[in-house]
A = this chain, B = another copy of it.
Amino acid sequence: MGGDFGPRCIIPAVAHSLRLLPELDVILVGSPEPLQQLCSEYPLPADRVRFVYTSEIILADDSPASVLRSKRDASMRVAIEQVRDGLADGCLSAGNTGALMVLARSILGTLDGIQRPAIMAALPVSAKGCYLLDMGANVDCSAKQLFEFAVMGSEAVTELTGMQKPRIGLLNIGSETHKGSRQVREVSEMLRGCSDLNYIGHIEGDGLFQDQADVVVCDGFVGNVVLKASEGLAGYLQNEIRRALHSNLLLRLIAPVLRSVLRPVRERHDPGRYNGASLLGLRGVVVKSHGGANQQAFEAAIAQAMLASQARLPERIARRLALCRSDAS
């Protein structure tokens, strides 16, 4: 029940999703007051919704270390415990990302050989959606970790989008094989050796926006910087263009036309539309919603968590990792 808008955005999204998705059941974990109040405004089908009331909340500035030690009755922790105990098939949260990472890792555990989960999300810019991982969970990555990101990303994108054999690219500073950091050169060899993956080679920064690959692998430092830079630049440029259009009298007169023509572009690149970052490598489904997600965006994250749960994504990833590791070695 976290995020900038909390239950006020989440409950309408849940109500709408329950109408759209007949296979969805929901467990709402949080403080009783806002939940009961909102559920009287948006009546939910009693047979498909269960409430678990909690007394504590993890805040945006709680440090990951502190949430591990304290706040035993925080809604985020209790929601993850529902997954661990087999009472839920997946967990979705719009709260503190760092806290979600450490709690999920500590409560659910990671798959064999995985030290930390990776965060995968779609860049909110390309027409088709280009998935990038890691988005910031793993700052210094070994070649082995980058290889695992490729395998996990390939499996997850197949299950979430239905795309068979997604094209896997490795983010680098040149398309030539001798370029890049030691880790990147090393993982490139490993990926080339794995026949199970549709590895297409190096992708440069501009290639992220040119539909060159479906899944792009990089360390969490680079992924996080690229994601935020993209959001910052897209916002800046759209503002600049809006201001320029508004500076002209004729264009101000036809502002409604301009707005209606440009709205689809803005919406197509709305971070909310690509909402839902998957934490991959855990023994359970955990999806992170953007803190600033609106109702529509939160619904996208609900659908993503449902798809990942139905596909039993963690088990699939575990099998695929075992297969690819033996293939590459």
User: In the complex, A53→B268 CA distance in Å?
Assistant: 54
Q: Would A208 and B232 count as touching, CB distance under 8 A? A: yes
Query: Which of these, B218, B236, B241, B254, contacts A210 with CB under 8 Å?
Result: B236
Q: Which stretch of A38-46, A244-252, A273-281 is in the interface?
A: A244-252
Q: Which of A74-82, A86-94, A199-207, A315-323 contacts B (4 or more CB under 8 A)?
A: A199-207
Q: A140-B182, A225-B171, A225-B173 are contacts. A248–B257 as well, Cβ < 8 Å?
A: yes
Contact B232 A229 (CB under 8 A): no
Q: Which residues of B contact A207 (CB under 8 A)?
A: 232
Q: Residue A136 at the B interface, CB < 8 A?
A: yes
Q: Give the docked Cα–Cα distance between A238 and B254 (Å).
A: 20
Query: Provided the pairs A234-B237, A248-B261, A269-B237 are in contact, do residues A225 and B205 lie with their beta carbons within 8 angstroms?
Result: yes
Looking at the complex, which one of B136, B181, B233 makes contact with A139 (CB distance below 8 Å)? B181
- Asked if A52 is at the interface (CB within 8 A of a chain B CB), the reply is no
Q: Is the CB of B224 within 8 A of A173?
A: yes
Question: Which 6 A-B residue pairings sit nearest by Cβ, starting from the closest?
Answer: A206-B232, A205-B228, A205-B229, A173-B224, A209-B236, A209-B232
Neighbouring B residues of A230 by C-beta, 8 Å: 205, 229, 233
Indicate if A194 sits at the interface (CB-CB under 8 A).
Answer: no
What copy number does this chain have within its complex? 2
What 0/1 readout, one digit per residue, does chain A (243-272) give for beta carbons within 8 Å of chain B?
011011011001001100110110011000
- The reply to whether B205 and A226 form a contact with Cβ atoms under 8 Å apart is yes
A108 within 8 A of B: no
Chain B, residue nearest A212 (CB): B232
Q: Can you spell out 17 A-B residue pairs with CB atoms less than 8 angstroms apart?
A: A125-B233, A184-B221, A204-B225, A205-B224, A205-B232, A206-B229, A206-B231, A206-B232, A207-B232, A209-B229, A225-B225, A226-B229, A229-B229, A237-B265, A240-B265, A241-B241, A241-B265
Complex contacts, A258 vs chain B, CB 8 Å: 245, 251
Q: Does A227 contact B (CB under 8 A)?
A: yes
Interface residues of A in 154-186 (CB under 8 A from B): 171, 173, 180-182, 184
Query: Which of B218, B229, B264 meets A208, CB within 8 Å?
Result: B229
Q: Which residues of B contact A261 (CB under 8 A)?
A: 244-245, 247-248, 251
> What is the distance, in angstroms, from A223's C-beta to the closest C-beta of chain B?
9
Q: Does A27 reach chain B (CB closer than 8 Å)?
A: no
Residue of B nearest to A229 (CB): B205
Contact B262 A257 (CB under 8 A): no
Instruction: Provide the residues of chain B in CB contact with A224, threshold 8 Å.
Output: 173, 204-205
User: Which residues of B lie under 8 Å from residue A227 when comparing CB positions?
Assistant: 205
Q: How far is the CA of A313 from the CA of B204 in the complex (A)?
A: 32
Query: In the complex, are the beta carbons of A180 and B139 less than 8 A apart?
Result: yes
Residue in B closest to A224 when the chains form the complex, CB atoms = B173
Q: Taking the complex as formed, is A222 at the interface, i.e. its CB lies under 8 A from any CB of chain B?
A: yes
Q: How far is the CB of A317 from chain B (nearest CB, A)?
A: 24
Could you list 16 further interchain pairs (A-B, Cβ under 8 angstroms) beyond the known A125-B237, A139-B181, A206-B229? A173-B220, A173-B221, A184-B221, A205-B226, A206-B228, A207-B232, A208-B229, A221-B222, A222-B222, A225-B226, A237-B269, A241-B262, A244-B261, A248-B261, A250-B254, A251-B258
